[in-house]
Amino acid sequence: MRASGTVPGRVTAGVLTAGAAARGAGTWARNTSHCCSLPARCWPWRWPATRYKGTVPTYIINLDLPPYKRWANVMNDKKTELKKVMQNIKNLVNKFFPGSKIADLVEVKMVHLLSSLPHPFREEIEGIANTSGASLGDVVLFNIFYEIFTVCTSIVAEDKTGKLYHARNLDFGLFLGWDIKNSSWTITQLLKPLVVALAFQRNNKTIFKSTNFAGYIGMLSGVRPGAFTLTMNERFSIDGGYLGILEWILGRRDGMWMGFLTRAVLENSTSYEEAKEKLAKTRLLAPAYFILGGNKPGQGCVITRSRAATLDIWDLDIKQGTWFLVETNYDRWKPPLFLDNRRDPAKQCLNQIKQENLSLATIYDVLSTKPVLNKLTVYTTLMAVDGGHTETYLRECPEPCCPW
């Protein structure tokens, strides 16, 4: 599972990172770096006027079908877009290593990895590959990306009446190629047509809802109607997702893939307390932040995870004045990276809004404030546990805009 003495997953990451520089990363540094140093300006009245030009289609995933067939309706519509994303990644690898076979090697290794994935995820991936015409290796790799490359901002908050709201910006595509002509991350733009709203049903009843990328079977954002809301953010750590994936490949499989865990929690847990316990105690392949909201006042938390343990549980506490929680990609007890401070602008805007004015619309305004909104932002999802309400908007960040 090594190529020239290096783990293929790490090779891929290194290739993609260097590829960004090779494709004009210096251009965005010159054009957009100044905006990141400006004080946050909160943007009111953004919702819903600043939608991206396009709609997010809704699909039903019938859990009563055999796993192989569950995603057929989605992939029949989105197969071209999925193959375009994967081909772009291969092109990036091939440009950095001309004449090499690294992209082919990674694809072969991904096929071998598939056989080790648990039921029903293995069968669902096989069905997606069959329906879309994409290679098995590509579909496996597409699902693994989100264990190691997702950069996000999540908010869970409680209004004066005790109603809970949950929202997130999904940022993806960092160092995966820069489009000089359009001043944007290439993969970020290619992913937007893949965004779908999903309703997972059993016996014709919706069990949970999610905003997802077509072809990805884990869950990054979801709501179980009447029970809880959930988002997952990547946690940067030396003991990161690459190491967990390598251990899995080498045969140590006592950890769970993050996206598969969130999927299992949304599908099987019936309460906030049950979901919280599973997210806190299950061993993971990669460090993560789980942001969880419930259906009662005070039910909201951020669970900070290493691969093996829970390091911190940060709860809403209205009596102590904590009516909102903001999580980006940094531990709350540490300052964010100075080049990537989305946390403080989001907190500043929420404090300006005040608890009495909290709503999905005002939270959308917070998530529309730069640099919370940036060139990596693919979509914004707004959720309320009552009735399983969800809204998803594809995003564009008008200039001047931070690269992340």
Two structure tokens written together for 82: 């999925």
- Distance, CA of 163 to CA of 1 (rounded, Å): 50
Two structure tokens written together for 348: 């500043």
For residue 318, the tally of other CB atoms under 10 A from its CB is 13
Residue 208: phi and psi, rounded to 5, are -155, 165
Closest to 376 in 3D by CA, of 324, 328, 338, 306: 328
Active site residue 36: no
Place of tokens 């919370």: 372
Positive or negative torsion for Cα 281, 286, 289, 290: negative
Q: How far apart are the first and last CA of the chain?
A: 32
- Distance, CA of 233 to CA of 262 (rounded, Å): 11
- Distance, CA of 101 to CA of 106 (rounded, Å): 9
- Distance, CA of 268 to CA of 290 (rounded, Å): 17
Q: Is there a contact between 186 and 88 (Cβ–Cβ < 8 Å)?
A: yes
Q: What is the number of residues in the chain?
A: 404
**Looking at 36, 152, 349, 397, which residue is catalytic?**
152
CA angle 171, 172, 175 (to 5 degrees): 125
Active site residues: 152
